[in-house]
A = this chain, B = another copy of it.
Amino acid sequence: MKALVSGDPGLRLDSVAEPEPRPDQALVEVHAIGVNRGELALMGQLPPGSRLGWDVAGTVLRAAADGTGPAAGTRVTALAERDGWAERIALSPTRLTPVPDGMDWPAAAALPVAGLTALYALEYAGPLLGRSVVITGAGGGVGRMLVQLAAAAGAEVIAQVGSPGRAEGLRSLGAHTVETYEEGADGGPVDVLVDSVGGRVLAGAFGRVRPGGTVVCYGNTVREELRLPLDWGHARPGLRIGYLHLFDEVTRRSVARDLASLVRLVAEGRLTPEVAAVGSWSDPEPALDALRQRQANGKVVLTL
């Protein structure tokens, strides 16, 4: 079968061995895959020919032999460890959940990494009803999930973006305020900060966090050290900071249950997987370039 593997540079289609499911794994035929910035970073570190792929949407070809999980023919979305960018993949039912017919393949492939990261980040933050939440990097794939989920949880959402062009559609997703990082530096106090940008952007938004507030970080896209002023803690007693990495977090989570929660929120109209670009996996570069250059206002998906 074919799989998308790391090239030199970029990605290329290659022939790989068919997956051989264990008795506790289903065999899934893949129809669409999501591409994440973390995978682009990983691609640069792995030798050419390495397999990748976390976000998968497809159909169960053969249910797990042990009888767990959905039957053959079920449409599913799944979080793969890797190897998801292929025509077929062996997956544990603990990592996938059925999706309704109304959810198209790109939407289903856009959900796992970005949706679970956003869901877990907001769980770190605690109850959000009536709380103000600043979300940095709000224009990207995870950011747009965070805006919607925080709004659905009853928060006052302040969406921060690097440039006005990234702000597109954020108000209609539930953001009460949309601002650039520079504009946000003068903003009022907030209860929660969810950050993926790091460095100066994190430090700037941190200054707005109230005593007893919560900071959740899940990335450092600017690749900068963190500098906080000497009263970083004393000025906000009761402060909590957490750092989340999805593939660490899932070791303590029920992915199937949490994916099902996300699918339910989509079905209820409370969450829309925003797909910024859909490409073909046989010509992935145009879509990947949008992701690399931070021009994708949402997820980037490839169809098979």
Contact = CB atoms under 8 A, between A and B. Distances in A.
Given A224-B230, A226-B232, A241-B241, 9 more contacts: A199-B230, A220-B234, A225-B227, A226-B227, A233-B243, A236-B243, A237-B248, A238-B249, A241-B242
B245 A234 contact: yes
A243 B249 contact: no
**Interface range, A side:** 20 to 34
B240 A248 contact: no
Interface in A2-41: none
Contacts of A212: 248
Contacts of A241: 239-242
**Looking at A223, A241, A243, A248, which has the most chain B CB atoms within 10 Å of its CB?**
A243
14 contacts: A198-B230, A199-B230, A211-B248, A212-B248, A217-B233, A224-B230, A225-B227, A225-B230, A227-B227, A236-B243, A237-B245, A238-B242, A239-B241, A239-B243
Interface of A: 198-199, 211-212, 217, 219-220, 223-234, 236-245, 247-249
Copies in the complex: 2
Interface of A is mostly: loop
A242 B245 contact: no
Nearest to A244: B237
Contacts of A238: 242-245, 248-249
Nearest to A198: B230
**Looking at A211, A220, A230, which has the most chain B CB atoms within 10 Å of its CB?**
A230
**Looking at A224, A226, A228, A247, which has the most chain B CB atoms within 10 Å of its CB?**
A226
Contacts of A211: 248
